[in-house]
Structure 1
Amino acid sequence: MGCNVYSIKQVVEMLDIPSVTLRAWENRYQAVTPERTESGYRLYTQENIEDLRWLKEQTEKQGISISHAVRLLKARKENPAAEGPAGAVGTPREAFEKMKQQIYSALYEFQGERANALIDFGFSMYGYESMFHQVLVPILIRVGDAWEEGSATVAQEHYMTHMVSNRFYQFFHLFPVYAHLPKVLAFCPEGEHHQVGLLLFSLFLRKNGVEVVYLGANTPEGGVVAMLETQNRIGAVCLSVTDKELLPYCKELITRLQAIRPGIRFILGGKAYEAAEEPVPEAAEVIGVPAERWQEWFDYSFTGARNQR
Structure 2
Amino acid sequence: MYSIKQVVEMLDIPSVTLRAWENRYQAVVPERTESGYRLYSQENIEDLRWLKEQTEKQGISISHAVRMLKMRKQKHLDERLNASGGDPRDAIDKMKQQIYTALHEIQGERADALIDFGFSLYGYEAMVYQVLVPVLVKVGDAWEEGTATVAQEHYMTHMISNRLSQFFHVFPVYAHLPKVLAFCPAGEHHQIGLLLFSLFLRKNGVEVIYLGANTPEEGVMDLLEKQGRIGAVCLSVTDEELVPYCEDLLKRLGSLHPELQFIVGGKAYETAGPQATRATYKLDEPPEQWQAWFDREFAGIQHRI
Q: TM-score, normalised by structure 1?
A: 0.71
CA RMSD of superposed structures (Å): 3.1
Offset of residue 60 of structure 1: 5.1
Match of 1:166 among 147, 159, 162: 162
1:54 aligns with 2:43: yes
Q: How many pairs are equivalent?
A: 250
Q: For residue 125 of structure 1, what is the aligned residue in structure 2?
A: 121
Q: For residue 302 of structure 2, what is the aligned residue in structure 1?
A: 306
Gapped runs of 5+ residues in structure 1? Answer: 1-11, 18-24, 33-50, 64-82
Contact 2:231 2:302 in 1 (8 A): no
Q: For residue 77 of structure 2, what is the aligned residue in structure 1?
A: 84
Rate the CA distance shift 1:126–1:256 in 2: closer, same or farther, 3 A: same
Paired residue secondary structure (2:174)? coil
Residues 129-144 of structure 1: matches in 2 within 5 Å?
A: 129-144=125-140
Match of 1:210 among 203, 206, 211: 206
Q: For 2:255 and 2:159, how far apart are their aligned partners in 1?
A: 37
Name the amino acid aligned to 1:211.
E
Q: For residue 20 of structure 2, what is the aligned residue in structure 1?
A: none
Q: For 1:26 and 1:265, how far apart are their aligned partners in 2?
A: 45
What's the CA shift string for 1:62-91, capped at 9, x where partnerless? Answer: 69xxxxxxxxxxxxxxxxxxx935636821
Gapped runs of 5+ residues in structure 2? Answer: 1-5, 12-31, 53-75
Q: For residue 93 of structure 1, what is the aligned residue in structure 2?
A: 89
Offset of residue 166 of structure 1: 1.4
1:278 aligns with 2:275: yes
Q: Percent identity?
A: 62
Instruction: Report the structure number with the largest CA radius of gyration.
Output: 1
Q: TM-score, normalised by structure 2?
A: 0.72
Rate the CA distance shift 1:89–1:270 in 2: closer, same or farther, 3 A: farther
Q: For residue 23 of structure 2, what is the aligned residue in structure 1?
A: none
Q: For residue 287 of structure 2, what is the aligned residue in structure 1?
A: 291
Contact 2:261 2:301 in 1 (8 A): no
Name the amino acid aligned to 2:261.
R
Contact 1:181 1:209 in 2 (8 A): yes
Residues 1-309 of structure 1: matches in 2 within 5 Å?
A: 53-54=42-43, 56-57=45-46, 84-85=77-78, 87=81, 90-276=86-272, 277-281=274-278, 284-308=280-304
Higher relative contact order (CA 8 A, sep 6+): 2
Q: For residue 66 of structure 2, what is the aligned residue in structure 1?
A: none
Offset of residue 29 of structure 1: 8.8
